[in-house]
């Protein structure tokens, strides 16, 4: 009997189930790894089985790392409990707290044509698949050089594991101009993952500092995401 071919979603679920954080030699730094919670893992499985139940290749869209109230709560990148239920149709018992990156991303996803249309061609993830907290607040993987040096091999390894889900190798999109862009461009140059890398302002930056220009950024996202599919 022929072996059943794994779907894109199957590969994602297995990746998250077996994700083990690296050792971080810094006092006060904690990790965000929501998949240790069985309830969260169930919502994650429902999401990826709903939208990624195929073997299509997708454009990878890379954020920074999970935050406490978005994917740190749901296990799904750029998706808070409100978006998970209202935009993705997955009823959940999680605290319905909004996270601003998720709020922008799902405005864009609606602008694109909805979750089903969006996830058919794109996979949202992050350069680091685990998040970090320091003194009870979100911390980025690049905020401290010792932290970055500690997680860099883990980042490279887990990115390559994720690309094997079914990445379209001609293009990728990085969310976060500045340090996130600089670091990924250097890694991409070293490892030769993608031919072309587009960069967009991070949703959090837009919501915090450019909210009045929301329509401009929705249109900009539409343009870049469209180009990435060519």
When pLDDT is cut at 50, 70 and 90, the band that residue 3 belongs to is: low
Domain ranges, ordered by start, for the chain: 10-17+27-228
Does this model's pTM top 0.85? My answer is yes
Q: What is the CATH number of domain 10-17+27-228?
A: 3.40.470.10
Count CA within 13 A, CB hemisphere, residue 159.
Answer: 25
Yes or no: say if 125 and 63 are a contact pair by the CB < 8 Å rule: yes
| Tokens read off for 104 | 């922008």
Least confident of 44-48, 144-148, 197-201: 144-148
Task: Encode pLDDT of 68-106 as tens digits.
Answer: 888 899 999 999 999 999 999 999 999 999 999 999 999
Q: Higher confidence at residue 67 or residue 165?
A: 165
pLDDT at residue 1, as a whole number: 52
pLDDT of residue 27 exceeding 90: no
pLDDT at residue 98, as a whole number: 95
Task: Encode pLDDT of 124-182 as tens digits.
Answer: 999 999 999 988 888 999 999 999 999 999 999 999 999 999 999 999 999 999 999 99
| CB-CB neighbours of 11 under 10 Å | 18
C-alpha to C-alpha distances, 116 to 75, 122, 205, 214, nearest whole angstrom: 18, 10, 26, 23
Q: Is 14 helix (H, G, I), strand (E, B) or coil?
A: helix
CA-based nearest residue to 94, from 67, 73, 66, 71: 73
The CA angle 120-121-124, to the nearest 5 degrees, is: 100
When pLDDT is cut at 50, 70 and 90, the band that residue 4 belongs to is: confident
């Amino acid at each position: 009997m022929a072996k059943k071919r794994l779907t894109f979603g199957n590969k994602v679920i297995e990746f998250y189930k077996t994700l083990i954080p690296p050792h971080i030699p810094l006092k006060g730094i904690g990790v965000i790894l929501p998949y240790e919670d069985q309830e969260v893992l169930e919502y994650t499985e429902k999401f990826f089985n709903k939208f990624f139940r195929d073997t299509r290749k997708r454009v990878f869209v890379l954020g920074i790392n999970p935050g406490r109230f978005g994917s740190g709560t749901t296990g799904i990148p750029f998706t808070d409990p409100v978006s998970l239920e209202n935009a993705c149709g997955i009823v959940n018992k999680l605290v319905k707290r909004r996270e601003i990156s998720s709020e922008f991303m799902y405005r864009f996803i609606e602008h694109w044509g909805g979750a089903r249309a969006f996830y058919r061609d794109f996979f949202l993830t992050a350069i680091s698949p685990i998040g970090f907290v320091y003194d009870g607040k979100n911390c980025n993987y690049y905020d401290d050089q010792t932290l970055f040096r500690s997680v860099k091999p883990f980042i490279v390894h887990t990115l390559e594991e994720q690309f094997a889900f079914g990445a379209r190798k001609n293009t990728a999109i990085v969310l976060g101009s500045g340090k996130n862009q600089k670091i990924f461009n250097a890694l991409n140059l070293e490892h030769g993952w993608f031919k072309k890398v587009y960069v967009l302002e991070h949703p959090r930056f837009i919501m915090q500092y450019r909210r009045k220009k929301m329509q401009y950024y929705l249109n900009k996202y539409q343009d870049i995401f469209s180009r990435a599919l060519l």
